[in-house]
Amino acid sequence: MKKIINIFKIASFTLLLTAINSCKGDDFVINTDLSESNIYEASAPLIKYYKATLADAIEHIEDKRIFVDDEGVVNFSVTKDVDIVWDDLAKMKDVDFQRSYLMSEYNQGGDRYKIVEDISLNEHEDARYDSAYIAHGILRLSFDVPVDYKGDINITLPQFYPTITRSFYADGNNTDTYDFAINTQGHTLRFAHDDTYSLFNMILESDFEAVGDINDNLIMKYEYRNVEADGVFGYFGNRTAELKDQTQSIDEIKDILEYISFELQEIKYSLSTTNYIGAPFDLYATNIRFYDSSDNDDFKILKVEGNSEIKVSVESPKYNQYEIIPIYGEVTVDSKNSNVLDIANPFPEEIIADIVAVANPNGENVNKPNYYTGRDTLFAELEIKAPLMIKINEFTRKDTIDFDFRDLADNKRENIDFIDMANIYINIYNFLPFDMGANLYVIDERGVKLDDIFKDFKQILKSGDIVNGRLVDPETTEIVVELTKDKVLTYFDKSAKSIVLETKTSTINYNTDYVKIYDNYGIGAKISAEVKSQIPDIY
Amino acid sequence: MKNKIYYILILIFLFSIDNITAQDPMGLYYMNTIPQSSHLNPAMQPRAHSYISLISVTENFKSDAAFKNLVQQNGKEWVLPYHKDYSFRNLKMATGKSLDFHNNIDIGLLGFGFRLGSNYFTFDTKVKTNFNLGIPYDFISVAERGFPNDKTFNLSPLKTNVFGYIETSLGFSREINDNLTVGAKIKPLIGLTAANTKTDNFTLHTSRDYWEVDYNGSVSTSGPFDFTITKDEVTGDYDAKFEFYEDDEIVDYFTSFDNLGFAADFGVDYKINHRWSVSASLVDFGYIRWKSNDSYNFNFKYSFDGIEGEGIKEEFDDELDKILDEIKESFSHAERDNYTTNLAPQLYVGTQFEVTPYFDLGLLSRNIFYKDNFRQDFNISANFQPYSFMSANINYSLRPRGGNGLGTALMFLLGPLQFYTALDYIPTKYSDLYEKGNEEQIGIMFPNARNINFKVGLNLIFNRHGYKDRPMLYKY
């Protein structure tokens, strides 16, 4: 019994102690409200050093108008290609005629007859063809033999090499005409000449077996059309071709000038030509007009030493059996010999010129015959070009960037009020010869300023020193873009709509000096960020 | 009368304790009616002349922090680590430089013990598993401030250790004289499987100028599997493969006994007089050497200071690829041969006061030496051994960084069959969990609990009446 009581005491004691302490504690109400969260920080480097040079930009843009010269200076040029086609310079005239030959006039004695017909091929009377390699040409001859005449007729074209001959038996009592289509392709035509024409002969000879009325006529038709020659040699005469109102457009110049206005130190205008045609040429650009819509729609005329004309002359190119080595000619005008800098600084919107080309301007040079090989275009190019040696004189510009902050925050304040701070640290390494200051501010839809990010034209780019015309080292500016909680909430509450960037740019010593822009100039940056925020409530 | 006063004093003492929470299972130390008490001090000779231990299961889970350390009280509500009023100082006091979790599951297989004169011999076999996860405090501290400028996070305490092994122990205890008893155990160990990470150095530095990660460490595995890490020499890409053995290879692995180790226990018990005694023991002083293993040393040091590049681009694929290549090149590994796992030795120091032959009080300190960490507990116990067929223990444990708790041990003897259980954590207090603003309960939590600890087992006890000359019956 005592045993049982003692067991009971021990068990009761243990259970009592446990029961007293095995009570339900206070409920745990866990606060999961993210709006009461800690402020978390994150600092991180983003860009250690990233640089871009003008050479990179040029490569990226892939605009042939921008290039780098041998000195490394960036140049801008606009060209206009003008093709002057001389497809009739050494053209073979189409032949198509009919001739009646009175038999009595061509009798050589007995029953022998000989008719010689001259067939001329030069289009222009002052041109002279010496030889031609026929690439294409079908000579069609048609004979209508007079009645009762019978016998063999021989046709010879002696100027063709190899000589072309044809023979046939003609019977005048046969009502059919006798037709021949002679393919002259591959033949060399060595022209005969009279005072005016380059020609070949058609010789008809016959010793008739029987003859008819001597006063009868042999009728012949000649057709030789669309003759093409691989090569024509001779003298092609003094020819002129004219192309009016050749226009170079620089469409983007207005946009560029709105973006950055600058003044060039030098502008060059040139006319060049590449000649594949075997004749000398004089090429003219005349009545050269520069147009800028901001100048009351008036054209300004380019004057070169008092004349509105630029001329370039080229000789006939060299020729061997394999290729033609073209001749290139160029003439350039600049501020020293023209008013180009006065009328086109920086660049006009359009340049319009009349182009005139004259073949054999000085007449025939017997030591240098003309030749034509199928290349019938005289290539010309008009170019306006300027190396970027510029001045920028406190050019100011204002850009407005859409920044609908409420839209960014999905119109919910809780989507942005967890941000405590966001700073971006930017170190700019400027290797451009510009100083730039900027104002950056936020406005609402009515244009009322809500916040200044940069003011007083904070310097964001500083030019380095120029030694012997070149920048030596980059200059560094440090910028911090700060966004605080108050700013973020202000942007939301007051409906920030846009960010306005005002810049003021100048080249170094802009009052006196032009700066050359080299392709190795550029900008580098180092960027890091620091953010503090609470945990956003994404639910 | 004196005994009743003691009784009342204990009651008052226990009642005065507030926030009773879970504790460590040290109640077994003075329960020499349970032969397994010698596991804590090999000098402690069980009362039974002989015994056979049939089976026992021990589960021991420890955490540095209780729920209420991780979720802190703020007025009438409780806040999570991301709340602005959360105290990381208080959290660090609970965790130290690393928030550690330990879990051990031991399964005692066959064992026996017997007395021969002044000597006591024991033999035990156990399968022991150990899991340890260490989360560096600096990692948790990210929830305090994030990644601020110019801050270095020490993540070196990061670790994960899992291993299982078979422990066979041969124990010997001898009463040198009436006062002094000494004991020792030698414990050959056979490693079964392991996966361990060892971090020699792991830091993360964050700043606006650069972020840098520096890591030296190793991953070691041993088991019936192949774990291979290879690096493509051309691309620098890493490939990790994990493949279990075939069935026959698994058998070969476990019977190869390549992973051997050794541990030892030492103990001493000294009776100052017929009431007071002092004791001390060092337990689990040992290691396992894993010869059959796939282990790799890793080195990684990378500093990111931003993207570097040039030119006009719309995408930064090349630069990002370059960073990835640099990261790959910064990472290197090497195979390593054998590796050794050290056990966590435990040092027990205690004193016992015999109130009556059936009732005594004990005071115990346990010190656990982990790599990179140290744990200390104190335990006050009241041990009741009134009858041969039952004994009980009520104890209270204290941990300097919190985690106090009530525990108990019970033994019942039915014939030769002895059933015992020791609970280190009796769920004493629970709370309903709610989310603020939501009336629906989301769960139940034991807010003060840091430990789950219990042991249960069966023994066959022979000559149970005895301590050789100290009857177990109490006579009033």
Distance from CA of A255 to the nearest CA of B (A): 21
CA B462/CA A484 separation, integer angstroms: 80
Give the chain A residue whose CA is nearest to the CA of B68: A28
Mean pLDDT to the nearest integer, B407-429: 83
Q: Write out the H or E segment, with its range, that includes residue A98.
A: strand A95-102
Q: How far is B242 from chain A (nearest CA, A)?
A: 36
Contact B306 A535 (CB under 8 A): no
Cα angle value B68/B73/B78 (rounded, 5°): 90
Closest to B62 in 3D by CA, of B351, B264, B346: B346
CB-nearest to B310 from A6, A43, A56 is: A56
Residue B24 pLDDT grade (very low, low, confident, very high; cuts 50, 70, 90): very low
Q: How many CB pairs under 8 A join A and B?
A: 167
Question: Quick check: A321 pLDDT over 80?
Answer: no
Per CB-CB distance under 8 Å, the chain A contacts of B447 are 25, 28
User: Measured between CA atoms, how close is A482 to chain B, in angstroms?
Assistant: 15
Say whether B436 and A56 touch across the interface (CB within 8 A).
no
Distance CA(A185)–CA(A138), nearest Å, equals 8
Place of tokens 């620091």: A530
pLDDT at position A183 over 80: yes
The answer to whether the CB atoms of A30 and B71 lie below 8 A apart is yes
Check CB contact of B380 with chain A, cutoff 8 Å.
Answer: no
Inform me whether the C-beta atom of residue B337 falls under 8 Å from chain A C-beta atoms: no
The Cα A393–Cα A506 span in angstroms is: 5
Which of B208, B213, B440, B445 is the best residue to mutate to test the A interface, defined by the most A CB atoms within 10 Å of its own CB? B208
* Model confidence at B19: pLDDT above 50: no
The larger pLDDT score, comparing residue B465 to residue A126, is at A126
The predicted model gives B440-464 an average pLDDT of 82
Q: Residue B335: exposed, middle, or buried by beta-carbon count in 10 A (0-12, 13-18, 19+)? A: exposed
Tell me how far apart the alpha carbons of residues A154 and A67 are, in angstroms, rounded to a whole number. 68
Neighbours of A468 (CB within 10 A): 5
The beta-carbon neighbor of B432 closest among A27, A31, A60 is A27
| Least CB–CB distance from B148: residue in A10, A41, A56 | A41
Would you call B323 an interface residue with chain A, using a CB distance cutoff of 8 Å? no
Asked if B308 and A50 come within 8 Å (Cβ–Cβ), the reply is yes
Please give the Cα distance from B342 to B161 (Å, whole number).
11
Measured in degrees and rounded to the nearest 5, phi and psi for residue A8 equal -60, -40
* Closest Cβ opposite residue B78 in set A28, A57, A535: A28
Lookup: tokens for B191: 């490693």
Q: pLDDT digits over A420-454, tens only?
A: 999 999 999 999 998 999 999 999 999 999 999 99
**Cα→Cα distances B296→A460, B195, B228, B328, Å:** 52, 12, 9, 17
Distance CA B372, CA B51 (A): 39
Q: Is B318 on the interface with A (CB under 8 A)?
A: no
pLDDT in tens, A488-538: 999 999 999 999 999 999 988 888 888 889 999 999 999 999 999 988 876
pLDDT at A22: 55
Residue A30 to residue B77, Cβ atoms within 8 A = yes
Instruction: Look at B451 and A284; give whichever has higher pLDDT.
Output: A284
Chain B interface test: which of A7, A20, A34, A43 (most B C-beta within 10 Å): A43
User: What is the pLDDT averaged over residues B162-177?
Assistant: 94
Q: Nearest-CA residue of chain A relative to B77?
A: A29
Record the tokens describing residue A89, joined without a space.
């310079």
Over residues A124-152, the pLDDT tens digits come to: 888 899 999 999 999 999 989 999 999 99
The answer to whether the beta carbons of residues B333 and B231 sit under 8 Å apart is yes
Given a contact cutoff of 8 angstroms between Cβ atoms, the answer to whether B279 and B351 are in contact is yes
CA distances for B99 relative to B203, B220, B437, angstroms: 17, 22, 31
User: Is B430 in the A-facing interface, judged by CB distances under 8 Å?
Assistant: yes
Any A CB within 8 A of B429 CB: yes
Q: Which residues of B touch A527 (CB under 8 A)?
A: 306
Question: Could you say which of B143, B145, B311 has the minimum Cβ distance to residue A52?
Answer: B311
pLDDT of residue B22: 28
CB within 8 Å: B429 and A22: yes
pLDDT over 90 at A90, yes or no: no
Does B212 contact A at CB distance below 8 Å? no
For A493, the enclosing helix (H) or strand (E) is helix A485-493
Contact assignment for B386 to A10 by CB distance below 8 Å: yes
Query: Scanning every residue of chain B, which has its alpha carbon at the shortest distance from the alpha carbon of A520?
Result: B311
Binned at pLDDT 50, 70 and 90, residue B302 comes out as very high
Q: Does B79 touch chain A (CB under 8 A)?
A: yes
The closest CB to that of B387, out of A3, A13, A28, belongs to A3
> Could you tell me if B389 and B376 are in contact, meaning their C-beta atoms sit under 8 angstroms apart?
no
Min Cα distance A429 → chain B (Å) is 13
- For A130, B35, B266, the CA distances from B110, given in Å and listed in that order, are 126, 13, 22
pLDDT range class, residue B475, cuts 50, 70, 90: very low
Q: Enumerate the β-bridge partners of residue A188.
A: A133, A161
**pLDDT at residue A85 above 60?**
yes
**Torsion on CA atoms B334, B340, B344, B349, rounded to nearest 10:** -140
Question: How confident is the model at residue A495, as a pLDDT?
Answer: 92
**pLDDT reading at B37 higher than 80:** yes
Does B175 score more than 90 pLDDT? yes
Q: Which residue of B has its CA nearest to A4?
A: B387
pLDDT in tens, A25-68: 778 888 888 778 888 999 999 999 999 998 888 888 888 888 89
Distance from CA of B394 to the nearest CA of A (A): 8
Say which residue, B55 or B465, is predicted with more confidence.
B55
Structural contact between residues B384 and A13, judged by C-beta atoms closer than 8 angstroms: no
Count of residues making up chain A: 539
Which residues of A are less than 8 Å from B436 in CB distance?
29-33
Contact B312 A60 (CB under 8 A): yes
pLDDT in tens, A196-206: 788 999 999 99
B210 φ, ψ (degrees, to nearest 5):
-165, 155
Tell me the C-alpha distance between A222 and A204, whole Å. Answer: 13
- Give the three-class secondary structure for A27: coil
Please give the residue of chain A at the shortest CA–CA distance from B144. A38
Residue A238 has pLDDT above 80, yes or no: yes
Q: How far apart are CA A272 and CA A82, in angstroms?
A: 10
Candidate from A18, A25, A529 with C-beta closest to B431: A25
- Give the span between the Cα atoms of B419 and B463, in whole angstroms: 16
CA distance B384 to chain A (A): 9
Which neighbouring-strand residues pair with B126? B108, B167
Burial B126-147 (b: 16+ CB within 10 A, else e): bebebbbbbbbbbbbbbbbebb
Across A137-216, where does the E strand assignment appear? Answer: 138-144, 150-157, 160-161, 164-171, 178-183, 188-190, 192-193, 198-207
Q: Does the distance separating the beta carbons of B78 and A31 come in below 8 Å? A: yes
φ, ψ (nearest 5 deg) of residue B17? -80, 125
Residue A344's pLDDT is: 83
Inter-chain CB proximity A45 and B394 less than 8 Å: no
Instruction: Please state the three-class secondary structure of chain B as a single string.
Output: CHHHHHHHHHHHHHHCCCCCCCCCCCCCCCCCCCHHHHHCCCCCCCCCCEEEEEEEEEEEEEECCCHHHHCEEECCEEECCCECCCCHHHHHHHHCCEEEEEEEEEEEEEEEEEEECCEEEEEEEEEEEEEEEEEEHHHHCHHHHEECCCEEEECCCCEEEEEEEEEEEEEEEEECCCCEEEEEEEEEEEEEEEEEEEEEEEEEEECCCCEEEEEEEEEEEECCEEEEEEECCCCCCEEEEEEECCHHHHHHHHHHCCCEEEEEEEEEEEECCCCEEEEEEEEEEEEEEECCCEEEEEEEEEEECCEEEECCCCCCHHHHHHHHHHHHHHEEEEEECCEEEECCCEEEEEEEEEEECCEEEEEEEEEEEECCEEEEEEEEEEEEEEECCEEEEEEEEECCCCCCEEEEEEEEEECCEEEEEEECCCCCCEEEEEECCCCCEEEEECCCCCEEEEEEEEEEEECCCEECCEECCCCC
| A172-211 residues labelled b (16+ CB within 10 A) or e (exposed) | beeeeebeeebebeebebebeeeeebbbbebebbbebeeb
Say whether B386 and A50 touch across the interface (CB within 8 A): no
The least confident of A411-415, B195-199, B258-262, B423-427 is B423-427
Chain B interface disruption, residue of A1, A13, A30, A420, most B CBs within 10 A: A30
Minimal CA separation from A2 to chain B, in Å: 10
For A73-87, A442-456, B396-410, which range has the lowest pLDDT when averaged over its residues? B396-410
Average pLDDT for chain A: 88
Strands (E) across A208-349 are located at 217-224, 228-235, 239-249, 263-264, 268-275, 281-291, 299-301, 309-314, 318-319, 324-325, 327-333
Side chain identity at B474, as an amino acid letter? Y
Average pLDDT (A305-317) is 92
pLDDT class of B427 with cuts at 50, 70, 90: low
Q: What are phi and psi for residue B60, nearest 5 degrees?
A: -135, 110
Whether residue A17 and residue B406 make contact (CB cut-off 8 A), yes or no, is yes
Output the pLDDT for position B14.
Answer: 45
Taking residues B89-117, what's their average pLDDT? 89
- B431 interfacial to chain A (CB closer than 8 Å): yes
Q: A56: nearest CA in chain B?
A: B311
Q: Which residues contact A538 (CB under 8 A, 6 or more apart)?
A: none
Tell me, what DSSP letter sits at residue A70? T
Q: Which residues of B touch A478 (CB under 8 A)?
A: none
Instruction: Share the mean pLDDT of chain B.
Output: 84
B206 near A CB under 8 A: yes
By Cβ distance, the residue of B209, B312, B431 closest to A528 is B209
B145 touches chain A (CB under 8 A): yes
pLDDT at A20: 56
Strand partners, B115: B120
Q: Which helix (H) or strand (E) holds A450?
A: strand A449-461
CA angle A497, A498, A502 (to 5 degrees): 160
pLDDT band at B285 (very low <50, low <70, confident <90, very high): very high
Nearest to B394 among A7, A14, A37 (CB): A14
Q: How confident is the model at residue B403 (pLDDT cuts 50, 70, 90)?
A: low
DSSP A123: S
**pLDDT classification of A284: cutoffs 50, 70, 90:** very high
